Amino acid sequence: MENKLTFLLLAHLVLLTVPVGGEQCQNQLIDCDIINRLAEQRTKEMPNLSTDFENGSPNEWKDESKTAVHWNIEDYNSPWEVDNLPFKPSIGNRYLRVDRKSTFGVAILRSPTFSFSDEEKYNLLTFDFWLRSTWSKFTNLELFVNENGNEKQLLSLSDYSFITNRNWITISVAPLHDVSPASVISFVFYAYCGTNVEDAVAIDNIRWTLFNERTSVTSADPITSTSDTQSDNPFDDLDLDLDLW
């Protein structure tokens, strides 16, 4: 039986809407200077963070690992560690995995930098992950938000690292609730992976999801659930308390 746990942490996020494609505001009834400045900044905002690695690329995410340990895309049908595999991913065959070497190391995965404003509402960063280790909690996957060069931890997932684990787990976090509007931010994963045959860290199906601007999530605590089979939709198992304005 494959267990799928889904967490939801609360927050607010904003999505800026301005002219794109080089269009310039010329409406005499509004302040075009402001609109045009926002349009010029648009290329720095809201990169495409979603990727399932099926095309063999991490999309806009960058491997910034400083040691011999790096991220590589593994195909479930032709893995490089045939004796240490997760259950088959719920979508496709490829996922991003720590390619560990002969020594313990940290693999770093970073998103592009971007800005956000008060006009944006709710966004979720959702991803699937798999952790396994010889010793309980030895391997770990951490998620940080970098705000103007200062990093703050959002998640630490070592509780899911144990020798019998082969499950993919889905987690969702709204990462910008404590971040000041107009800050320059990025997200970064740190994966700590040992050298034992059972040690593993992998990520799949990263999704950057915009919530409806008229919807607010009112539950204060993380929501967890289990299911017998993995769903293609990470929100299928969520019991959300939603209020419409």
Give the pLDDT confidence score for residue 209 in this predicted structure. Answer: 76
Tens digit of each residue's pLDDT (9 = 90 or more) over 80-90: 989 999 999 98
46-50, 153-157, 186-190, range with the lowest pLDDT? 46-50
**19 half-sphere exposure, CB direction, 13 A CA radius:** 14
Tens digit of each residue's pLDDT (9 = 90 or more) over 163-216: 999 999 999 988 877 787 778 889 999 999 988 999 999 999 999 876 544 334
Please check the confidence at residue 92 and state whether its pLDDT lies above 70.
yes
40-44, 94-98, 147-151, 184-188, range with the lowest pLDDT? 40-44
| Mean pLDDT on 11-30 | 38
Tell me how far CA of residue 194 lies from CA of 42, 135, 162, in angstroms: 41, 10, 12
Give the pLDDT confidence score for residue 104 in this predicted structure. Answer: 80
Residues 6+ apart with CB under 8 A from 45: 16, 114, 115, 116
CA distance 156 to 116: 25
Domains in the chain, ordered, with CATH? 6-219 (2.60.120.200)
